[in-house]
Chains A and B, each alone.
Chain A
Amino acid sequence: MESVLVLTQADETGAALTRASLEAVTAGLALAARLSAPLAIGIVAADATVAANSLASTGAKLLAVSGEAFAQPRYSTDAAACEALCRAAAATIVLAPASSRFNRVAAGVAHRLGGLIDTHITAIARQTLGAPGLASETRETDSLTSAVEATRWFYRQRIEAVLSRDVRPWFLLLDAGTHAAFTGQPAAVQVEGIAVQLSSIRTNVSGLRAPSQGTQTIRPDAKLLFVAGAGWTKKQPDGQTHVAEAGDLILGFLRTTSASLGSSKSLVDQGGEGQSVLPFLTHLNQIGQTGATPRHPKGLSTCCHGEEPHVVGWRFIAERRAISLDPNCGWTRGKADVVYVADAFQVIAKLNALLEDQAQ
Chain B
Amino acid sequence: MPKTLHIVVCAGIVPDPLQTLEPVTTPAGPGLKNEMVLPAVLDPWAASALYEAAALAAKNPGSKVWLVSLGPKAKLQQVMLTIAQRVPFELVPIDGPIGGFPDAHSTAQVLAETIAALPGLDRFRLLLFGGWESATRGAGVTLQLVGERLGITDQFQGVDQITLRDDGSFEVLERVEGGRHQVSICAGAPAVLGWATGNLAEPRNNPQIGMANMRTIMPALQKARPATLAANSLRYVSASLPKQQRTTRVVKDLSPDEIAAELAAWIGAE
Contact A204 B180 (CB under 8 A): no
Taking a contact as CB atoms under 8 Å apart, the answer to whether A154 and B184 are in contact is no
User: How many angstroms between the C-alpha atoms of A211 and B175 in the bound complex?
Assistant: 11
Interface 9-residue window, one of A30-38, A72-80, A180-188: A72-80
With A103-B140, A107-B144, A327-B250 in contact, do A208 and B181 touch (Cβ < 8 Å)? Answer: yes
Task: Check B100 against A334 for contact (C-beta < 8 Å).
Answer: no
- B239-A209 in contact (CB<8A): no
**A355 engages B233 (CB within 8 Å):** no
In contact, B138 and A338 (Cβ under 8 angstroms): no
* Residue pair A100, B248 in contact (C-beta under 8 Å): no
* Pick from B101, B149, B154, B183: contact of A75, CB under 8 Å: B154
A300:B196 contact, CB within 8 angstroms: no
For window 269-309 of A, CB contacts with B under 8 Å fall at 269, 272-273, 283-286, 289-291, 298, 300, 307-309
B246:A320 contact, CB within 8 angstroms:
yes
* A87 at interface by CB-CB < 8 Å: no
- Chain B 192-236 interface mask (CB, 8 Å, partner A; 1/0): 000011111110000000000000000000000000000011111
Kindly list chain B residues whose C-beta atoms are within 8 Å of the C-beta of A139: none
Contact with A along B166-189 (1 / 0, CB 8 A): 000001011111111111111110
Q: Which of A74, A167, A290, A358 contacts B264 (CB 8 A)?
A: A358
Cβ-defined contact, B100 with A154, below 8 A: yes
Cβ B237 vs Cβ A162 within 8 A = yes
When chains A and B are docked, how far (Å) is the Cα of A331 from the Cα of B251? 12
Distance (Å) between the CB of B49 and the closest chain A CB? 13
A71 to B99 alpha-carbon distance, docked (Å): 38
User: CA–CA, A120 to B263, complex, Å?
Assistant: 32
Q: How far is the CB of B140 from the nearest CB of chain A, in Å?
A: 6
B179 touches A218 (CB 8 A): yes
Q: Let me know if B246 and A111 touch, CB within 8 A.
A: no
Distance (Å) between the CB of A294 and the closest chain B CB? 10
- Does any Cβ of B come within 8 Å of A224's Cβ? yes
| A108-B155, A167-B232, A339-B251 known; A161+B30 contact, CB < 8 A | yes
Determine the residue in chain B with the shortest Cβ distance to A200.
Answer: B187
- Complexed CA–CA distance, A159 and B248 (Å): 22
In angstroms, Cα B171 to Cα A206, docked, is: 9
Chain B residues in 8 Å Cβ range of A347:
256, 259-260, 263
A333 at the interface (CB under 8 A from B): yes
* Interface check B247, CB cutoff 8 A: yes
Kindly list chain B residues whose C-beta atoms are within 8 Å of the C-beta of A333: 248
A128 interface residue (CB < 8 Å to B): no
Within A317-351, the residues touching B (CB, 8 Å) are 319-321, 323, 327, 331-343, 346-347, 349-351
A272 proximity list for chain B (CB < 8 A): 199-202
Instruction: Determine whether the beta carbon of A111 is less than 8 Å from that of B197.
Output: no
- Taking a contact as CB atoms under 8 Å apart, the answer to whether B185 and A339 are in contact is no
Are A323 and B259 neighbours in the complex by a CB distance under 8 Å? yes
Q: Does B240 belong to the interface (CB within 8 Å)?
A: yes
B179 near A284 with CB under 8 A, answer yes
The number of residues on chain B lying at the interface, defined by a beta carbon within 8 Å of a beta carbon of chain A, is 88
**Do residues A298 and B186 form an inter-chain contact, with CB atoms below 8 A?**
no
Given A99-B177, A289-B44, A117 contacting B141 (CB threshold 8 A): yes
A16 to chain B, nearest CB (A): 15
Closest to A109 in B: B148
Question: What distance in Å separates the Cβ of B242 from its nearest Cβ neighbour in chain A?
Answer: 6
Residue from the list B147, B200, B233 in contact with A166, Cβ < 8 A: B233
Contact A103 B157 (CB under 8 A): yes
Contact check, B246 vs A154: say whether CB atoms are below 8 A apart.
no
* Docked pose: A290 CA to B136 CA in angstroms: 11
Asked whether any CB of chain B lies closer than 8 Å to the CB of A214, the reply is no
Residues on A with C-beta less than 8 A from B160 are: 283-284
**Residue from B14, B149, B156 in contact with A111 in the complex, judged by beta carbons closer than 8 Å:** B149
Say yes or no: A205 contacts B251, CB within 8 Å. Answer: no
Are the C-beta atoms of A286 and B197 separated by less than 8 Å? yes
B257's closest neighbor in chain A, by CB? A350
Q: How far is the CA of A36 from the CA of B156 in the complex (A)?
A: 37
Judge if B62 is at the interface, Cβ distance under 8 Å.
no
Q: Check B177 against A161 for contact (C-beta < 8 Å).
A: no
Complex CA–CA separation, A343 to B182 (angstroms): 39
B123 at the binding interface (Cβ < 8 Å):
no
Min CB distance A220 to B, Å, is 6
- Inter-chain contacts of B234 with A (CB < 8 A): 116, 163, 165
Given A154-B137, A327-B252, 11 other A-B residues pairs in contact with their CB atoms under 8 A: A104-B156, A149-B237, A158-B21, A159-B21, A161-B101, A165-B234, A202-B188, A203-B185, A332-B250, A334-B248, A354-B261
A-B contact pairs, 19 of them (CB 8 A): A75-B154, A100-B175, A105-B144, A112-B148, A116-B232, A118-B139, A155-B21, A163-B235, A206-B183, A206-B184, A207-B182, A218-B178, A286-B197, A298-B267, A308-B20, A320-B246, A327-B252, A347-B263, A355-B264
| A→B interface (CB under 8 Å) | 73-76, 79, 99-101, 103-108, 111-112, 116-120, 127, 149, 153-156, 158-167, 199, 202-211, 216-220, 224, 257, 269, 272-273, 283-286, 289-291, 298, 300, 307-309, 315, 319-321, 323, 327, 331-343, 346-347, 349-351, 353-355, 358
Across chains A and B, which 7 residue pairs bring their CB atoms closest together, nearest first?
A: A218-B179, A272-B201, A107-B141, A350-B260, A283-B197, A202-B187, A162-B237
